[in-house]
């Protein structure tokens, strides 16, 4: 007596993608409810089961849906926003500022639905996501009918959905509590990366994930710079560092792992971590090629991910699978590395294991959820077909297959695409809505790019602070008499400092933009040793805001301190029209003269070699205050034995220009 199924899928090349790599041709699959009832040769399945629906698959490949092991679905809305940039300029200069401005529940819903539509068309039935407002990612994923391991992002910076990491951690807890046990969604927590999280955040996320037994999704060892910085700050590579923070108390899904050594691979394996390999993203951002063959050799579960559509820029799993195979061959200089069958396993069963839901999906086995795709093999670009080698079909999928060959997609027993027609999402509506976002983001960035200050604030994270000062600078032949005068005259010295200063000015053709100064100060102690170094970024307003008698200037600057980005980052981000470099030895006194505080600087400008300058300046708050202090600046210069009439009105920059 045959048993009852809901649907019988017959006349297919069935690739079970189980441990034994069982293939059935012609094969069939019986589905009941949300699960797979049986998989096997067509005649056996037909004899054992009856169903209301029997679908003739017309000789297509019937296989498990693809598992996208690392992505940020909602970033579809930022696709093509900024390209051909280095990771830090791209992320800190463009993506994060735009995200802070635009990412909202509506943005995330739309972006996720767009992502899901693209996933379905690419044969992806399940994805591991990391983003903000993950609750809304979950709702959209359910609406599209896909399966997701969805991670609420936690990081040390204010994010679009939380002003502090405590808030995002709380949001992650609520998200996990609310969605745990859902038939399509596995909630998780996603500390963004070791360099965007503190040790405390990593520890808190690990214990949260362990408490609820949910996966922890993070980016690890993506770039060589990340590893270098980790080495210099903590004296160890990335994997031992996160191990020290108890990260592996949780079931870890580690995206990238491009720069890991053998012992780190063993550590990942020891803790049962899964790795998400992201070929396109790693290539596009020139992050490097992950040692995937070595990982597989040690038995690590390595899945394949598209990463977010802002760094890929599409969500085409077929391309990723092919690149994964090609890159492994390239890296090992061995064409037998990562054969096609293994590549397909990485995108299915092993990917599901890597994202810690291998018991639910990833292969066609009785009891697993019915996550199934049909792929057309009889296309022009994939013909003819040979049947001699059973691995030939995997090679066809990996080396010549395209996402457009996917015709039908079932998730959890429900069709989400039939004969190329999406069943759950309306693409036309989504595209219209997305165009509107693109218009808004465009005008936001166009406006920002016109202002150096706006660009500075976008990456500063600090608030804008305006300050005015009166100042005068005098060229002096010899500093010694002035230093002696300082000690003798009726001037109270509050303190004295000695610095080596290295200034880089970014100058723009439009003088109204002012300039950006990156200053590295080396504080030199009494023994002549460098005690500490600090770097600051300053926006220097247009040179002459106002001029007083004796050529005393009123100048304005907006400070953003400290400078956490490298000079290289700043150069690529600001793209100045000109760059000037000044190196000087500075003796600085804070003095009190007639009850008012002044800074007295004696500079020896070494690069370019311009000799000595005396500079006197004071902070000011109002026009009246400025007038009074301007007079006193001139007076103090005279008291110190220099002539205010020899004041150089030009800034160093102009001196460098002229000289
Ligand atoms: Zn990522």
Residue 493 CA, ligand 1 centroid: distance in Å: 54
Question: Virtual CA dihedral for 354, 289, 278, 259, nearest 10 degrees?
Answer: 60
Q: What is the pLDDT of residue 646?
A: 67
CA of 127 to the centre of ligand 1 (A): 12
> Phi, psi at residue 446, to the nearest 5°?
-60, -45
Ligand 1 center from residue 71 Cα (angstroms):
6
Distance 87 CA to ligand 1 centre (A): 11
The candidate with the shortest Cα–Cα distance to 12, out of 309, 286, 376, 438, is 376
- Read off the pLDDT of each residue in 340-350 and give the average, rounded to a whole number: 98
Question: Tokens for 560?
Answer: 């953003």
pLDDT at 658: 32
Q: 67-106: per-residue pLDDT in tens?
A: 999 999 999 999 999 999 888 788 888 998 899 889 999 9
8 A C-beta contact, residue 345 and residue 364: no
List, for residues 372-401, the tens digit of each pLDDT value.
999 999 999 999 999 999 999 999 999 999
CA dist 483 to 496, 534, 585, 601, Å? 11, 26, 15, 10
459 CA to centre of ligand 1 in angstroms = 20
pLDDT above 90 (res 502): yes
- pLDDT over 50 (residue 655): no
For the range 333-341, what are the long-range contacts, defined as Cβ-Cβ under 8 Å and sequence gap of 24 or more? Answer: 334/293, 337/293, 338/292, 338/293, 338/296, 339/391, 339/394, 340/391, 340/394, 340/395, 340/397, 340/398, 340/399, 341/21, 341/391, 341/394
The neighbour count for residue 22, using CB atoms within 10 Å, is: 17
Cα end-to-end distance, the chain, whole Å = 99
Residue 546 pLDDT exceeds 90: no
Q: With beta carbons less than 8 A apart as the criterion, state whether 16 and 39 touch.
A: yes
Whole-number Å distance, alpha carbon 293 to ligand 1 midpoint, is 21
pTM for the predicted model, two decimal places: 0.83
Q: 74: CA distance to ligand 1 center in Å?
A: 12
Query: How many Å lie between the centroid of ligand 1 and the Cα of residue 90?
Result: 13
- Given pLDDT bands bounded at 50, 70 and 90, which one contains residue 38? very high
Report how far ligand 1's centroid is from the alpha carbon of 153 (Å).
Answer: 11
Going from the C-alpha of 151 to that of each of 115, 132, 199, 315, the distances in angstroms are: 16, 8, 19, 18
- Residue 288 Cα to ligand 1 midpoint, Å, equals 15
Interval between CA 220 and ligand 1 midpoint (Å): 10
CA 263 to centroid of ligand 1, rounded, Å: 24
70: CA distance to ligand 1 center in Å?
6
Ligand 1 centre to CA of 338 (Å) is: 23
Burial of 380 (0-12, 13-18, 19+ CB in 10 A): exposed
- CA of 97 from ligand 1 middle (Å) equals 17
Cα–Cα distance, 416 to 121 (Å, whole number):
10
How close is the Cα of 129 to the center of ligand 1, in Å? 9
Distance CA 521, CA 586 (A): 10
pLDDT category at 158 given cuts 50, 70, 90 is confident
Distance 620 CA to ligand 1 centre (A): 47
- CA of 253 from ligand 1 middle (Å) equals 11
Q: If pLDDT is split at 50, 70 and 90, which confidence band does 657 have? A: very low
Mean pLDDT throughout 527-544? 80
Q: What is the 440 CA–ligand 1 centroid distance (Å)?
A: 24
Q: Which helix H or strand E contains 481, and what residues bound it?
A: helix 480-488
Ligand 1 centroid–CA 377 distance in Å is 31
Residue 183 has pLDDT above 50, yes or no: yes
- CA separation for the pair 437, 106 (Å, rounded): 10
* Structure tokens that stand for 358 in this block: 């291998």
Residue 249 vs residue 567, higher pLDDT: 249
Cα(432)–Cα(155) distance, integer angstroms: 32
Name the pLDDT band for 548 (thresholds 50, 70, 90): low
Mean pLDDT, rounded, for 525-531? 88
C-alpha 356 to ligand 1 mean position (Å): 18
pLDDT at 643 over 60: yes
Per-residue model confidence as pLDDT tens digits over 403-434: 999 999 999 999 999 999 999 999 999 999 99
Using the mean position of ligand 1's atoms as its centre, give its distance from the Cα of residue 395 in Å: 28
Which is more confident, 133 or 459? 133
- CA of 120 from ligand 1 middle (Å) equals 20
User: Do 558 and 574 contact (CB within 8 A), yes or no?
Assistant: no
Enumerate residues 6+ apart whose C-beta is below 8 A from 198: 156, 165
Distance from Cα 575 to the centre of ligand 1, integer Å: 27
Report the separation in Å between the CA atom of 139 and the middle of ligand 1, taken as the mean of its atom positions.
Answer: 21
455 Cα: distance to centroid of ligand 1 (angstroms): 24
Confidence grade of residue 278 (pLDDT, cut at 50, 70, 90): very high
Ligand 1 centroid to residue 227 C-alpha, Å:
17
> From the CA of 193, how far away is ligand 1's center (Å)?
9
What spacing in Å lies between the alpha carbon of 350 and ligand 1's midpoint? Answer: 19
- Lowest-confidence pick of 31-35, 396-400, 537-541, 607-611: 537-541
39, 364 in Cβ contact below 8 A? yes
Q: What is the pLDDT of residues 189-212, one digit of tens each?
A: 999 999 999 999 999 999 999 999
| Cα 13 to ligand 1 centroid, rounded to whole Å | 34
CA of 219 to the centre of ligand 1 (A): 6
Q: Over 60: is that where the pLDDT of 347 sits? A: yes
Spatial separation of the C-alpha atoms in residues 353 and 349, rounded to whole Å = 6
Task: Say how many Å lie between the CA of residue 149 and the centre of ligand 1.
Answer: 14
Cα 451 to averaged position of ligand 1 atoms, centre (Å): 30
83 three-class SS: coil
Give me 29's structure tokens. 């699959």
- The pLDDT of residue 37: 98
The mean per-residue pLDDT over the stretch 157-177 comes to 92
Instruction: Quote the ligand 1 centre to 118 CA distance (angstroms).
Output: 17
Are 264 and 237 spatial neighbours (Cβ–Cβ below 8 Å)? yes
For residues 324-338, give the mean pLDDT.
97
pLDDT at 547 > cutoff 50: yes
Q: Report residue 519: phi and psi, to 5°.
A: -120, 130
pLDDT of residue 627: 84
Is 656 a residue whose pLDDT tops 70? no
Whose tokens are 């039939």? That residue is 418
Q: What integer pLDDT is reported at residue 543 of this predicted model?
A: 54
- Res 544 pLDDT > 60: no
Distance from Cα 116 to the centre of ligand 1, integer Å: 17
Average pLDDT of every residue of the chain: 91
Give percent of the chain with pLDDT exceeding 70.
Answer: 94
Neighbours of ion ligand 1 (CB under 5 A): 307
Q: Give the pLDDT confidence score for residue 353 in this predicted structure.
A: 98
Q: Say how many Å lie between the CA of residue 351 and the centre of ligand 1.
A: 16
CA of 306 to the centre of ligand 1 (A): 9
Distance 222 CA to ligand 1 centre (A): 9
Minimum mean pLDDT range among 274-283, 468-477, 544-553, 618-627:
544-553
533 Cα: distance to centroid of ligand 1 (angstroms): 33
**3-class SS at 263?**
helix
Residue 653 — pLDDT band, cuts 50, 70, 90? very low
What is the whole-number distance in angstroms between the Cα of residue 560 and the centre of ligand 1?
A: 29
Question: If you measure from the C-alpha of residue 91 to the centroid of ligand 1, how many angstroms do you get, rounded to a whole number?
Answer: 11
């Amino acid at each position: 007596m045959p048993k009852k199924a809901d649907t019988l899928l017959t006349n297919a090349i069935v690739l079970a993608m189980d441990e034994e790599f069982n293939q059935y041709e012609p094969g069939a699959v019986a589905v009941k409810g949300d699960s797979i009832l049986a998989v096997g040769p067509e005649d056996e399945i037909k004899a054992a089961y009856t169903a209301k629906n029997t679908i003739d698959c017309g000789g297509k490949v019937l296989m498990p849906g693809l598992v996208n092991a690392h992505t940020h679905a909602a970033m579809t809305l930022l696709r093509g926003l900024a390209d051909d940039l280095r990771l830090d300029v791209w992320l800190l200069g463009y993506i994060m500022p735009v995200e802070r401005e635009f990412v909202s529940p509506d943005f995330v819903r739309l972006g996720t639905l767009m992502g899901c539509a693209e996933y379905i068309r690419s044969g992806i039935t399940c994805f591991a996501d990391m983003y903000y407002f993950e609750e809304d990612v979950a709702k959209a994923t359910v609406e599209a009918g896909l399966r997701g391991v969805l991670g609420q992002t936690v990081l040390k910076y204010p994010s679009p959905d939380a002003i502090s990491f405590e808030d995002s951690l709380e949001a992650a807890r609520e998200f996990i509590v609310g969605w745990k046990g859902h038939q399509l969604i596995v909630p998780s927590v996603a500390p963004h990366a070791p360099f965007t999280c503190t040790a405390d955040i990593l520890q808190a996320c690990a214990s949260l994930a362990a408490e609820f037994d949910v996966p922890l999704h993070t980016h690890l060892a993506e770039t060589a710079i990340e590893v270098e910085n980790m080495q210099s700050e903590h004296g160890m590579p990335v994997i031992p560092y996160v191990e020290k923070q108890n990260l592996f108390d949780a079931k870890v899904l580690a995206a990238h792992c491009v720069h890991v050594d053998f012992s780190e691979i063993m550590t990942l394996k020891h803790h049962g971590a899964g790795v998400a390999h992201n070929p396109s993203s790693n290539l596009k951002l020139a992050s490097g090629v992950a040692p995937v063959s070595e990982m597989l050799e040690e038995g690590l579960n390595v899945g394949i991910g598209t990463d977010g559509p802002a760094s890929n820029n599409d969500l085409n799993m077929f391309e990723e699978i092919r690149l994964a195979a090609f890159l492994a061959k390239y890296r090992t200089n061995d064409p037998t590395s990562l054969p096609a069958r293994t590549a397909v396993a990485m995108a299915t069963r092993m990917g599901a294991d890597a994202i810690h839901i291998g018991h639910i999906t990833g292969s066609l086995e009785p009891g697993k959820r019915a996550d199934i795709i049909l792929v057309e093999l009889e296309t022009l670009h994939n013909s003819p077909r040979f049947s001699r080698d059973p691995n030939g079909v995997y090679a066809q999928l990996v080396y010549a297959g395209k996402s457009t060959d996917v015709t039908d997609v079932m998730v959890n027993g429900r069709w989400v695409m039939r004969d190329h027609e999406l069943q759950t999402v309306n693409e036309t509506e989504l595209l219209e809505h997305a165009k509107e976002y693109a218009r808004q983001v465009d005008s936001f960035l166009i406006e920002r790019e016109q202002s150096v200050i706006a660009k500075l604030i976008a990456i500063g994270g600090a608030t804008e602070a305006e300050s005015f000062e009166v100042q005068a600078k005098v060229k002096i032949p010899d500093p010694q008499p002035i230093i002696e005068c300082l000690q003798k005259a009726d001037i109270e010295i509050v303190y004295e400092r000695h610095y080596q200063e290295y200034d880089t000015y970014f100058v723009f053709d439009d003088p109204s933009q002012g300039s950006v100064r990156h200053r590295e100060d080396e504080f030199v102690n009494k023994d002549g040793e460098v005690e500490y170094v600090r770097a600051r970024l300053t926006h220097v307003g247009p040179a002459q805001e106002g001029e007083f008698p004796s050529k005393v200037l009123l100048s304005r600057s907006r400070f953003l301190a400290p400078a956490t980005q490298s000079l290289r980052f700043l150069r690529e981000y600001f793209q100045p029209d000109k760059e000037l470099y000044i190196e000087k030895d500075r003796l600085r006194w804070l003095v009190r003269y007639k009850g008012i505080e002044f800074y007295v600087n004696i500079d020896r400008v070494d690069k370019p070699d311009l000799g000595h300058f005396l500079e006197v300046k004071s902070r000011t708050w109002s026009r009246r205050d400025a007038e009074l202090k301007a007079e006193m600046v001139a007076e103090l210069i005279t008291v110190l034995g220099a002539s205010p009439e020899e004041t150089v009105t030009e800034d160093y920059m102009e001196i460098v220009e002229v000289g």
